[in-house]
Amino acid sequence: MQQLTAVIIPLLILLIISHGLIKHIAVYEEFVEGAREGFNIAVNIIPYLVAMLFAIAIFRASGAMDLILNALRPLANQIGFPAEVISMGIIRPLTGSGSVGVLADLISTYGEDSIIVKMAAVMFGSTETTLYVLAVYFGAIKIKRTEYALQAGLAADLAGFIAAISITYWYFS
C-alpha cells in the first residue's frame, strides 16, 4: 500500500497529460486556465478559516478544556473509562494540531503500548478535523448556511469516538 501511494500521483499526472495530448488539447494553456482559480479559492476561504480558528483558539487558550475534563473525570472513572481519551474525543473535531498535541502528550505519559494511547490513535486515524473541513470546503464556494452538514459530521465524530474505544478494547484483549 505504501508503495502504491508513491506511484499513483506521478502515473495519474502522466495519464492526464498524455491523454490530453492524444485528444489534441492545448494542455499548457488549459492547465494555466484551470490553475488561475486556485488563488481565488484560497482567498475565499480566508474569512471562514479566520472565524473558525479564532473561536477554537480562544476556547483552547482559556483552559476551559481542562475544566470540562476535570468535571468528567469522576464520572468516567466510575464506568471504568479512561478520562484522558475524552480529551482526544473533544479536541479531534476542533483542531488538527491540537489533537496531535494531545496524542503526543498521551504517548509521552503512557507509552505507545498502552491501551489509552492505542484508543486515542485509532480515534485520531478514524475521524477528521470536522470544523476545519467544513470551513475550507464551504468557504471555497461561499456557503454560509451549512444546514445539517455539521450535525452529520459531528455524529460521525461521535460514532468514530465510540467505535475507536470499543473496537480497540475488543481487538487488543
Is position 115 an interface residue for other proteins (rule: CB under 8 A)?
A: no
Compare residues 79 and 141 and give the one whose CB is closer to other proteins: 141
Residue 83, burial from CB neighbour count under 10 angstroms (0-12, 13-18, 19+): middle
* Cβ atoms 130, 113 nearer than 8 A: no
Site for other proteins in 131-160 (CB under 8 A): 133-134, 136-138, 140-153, 155-160
Distance CA 75, CA 101 (A): 24
Judged by CB under 8 A, which of 11, 14, 16, 75 binds other proteins?
Answer: 16
Q: Which residues contact 30 (CB under 8 A, 6 or more apart)?
A: 20
Judged by CB under 8 A, which of 3, 61, 74, 173 binds other proteins?
Answer: 61
Compare residues 36 and 78 and give the one whose CB is closer to other proteins: 36
Query: In this chain, which stretch among 17-25, 72-80, 82-90 interacts with other proteins, using CB under 8 A?
Result: 17-25
- Provide the minimum distance between the beta carbon of 155 and other proteins in the complex, in angstroms, as a whole number: 4
Distance CA 59, CA 116 (A): 25
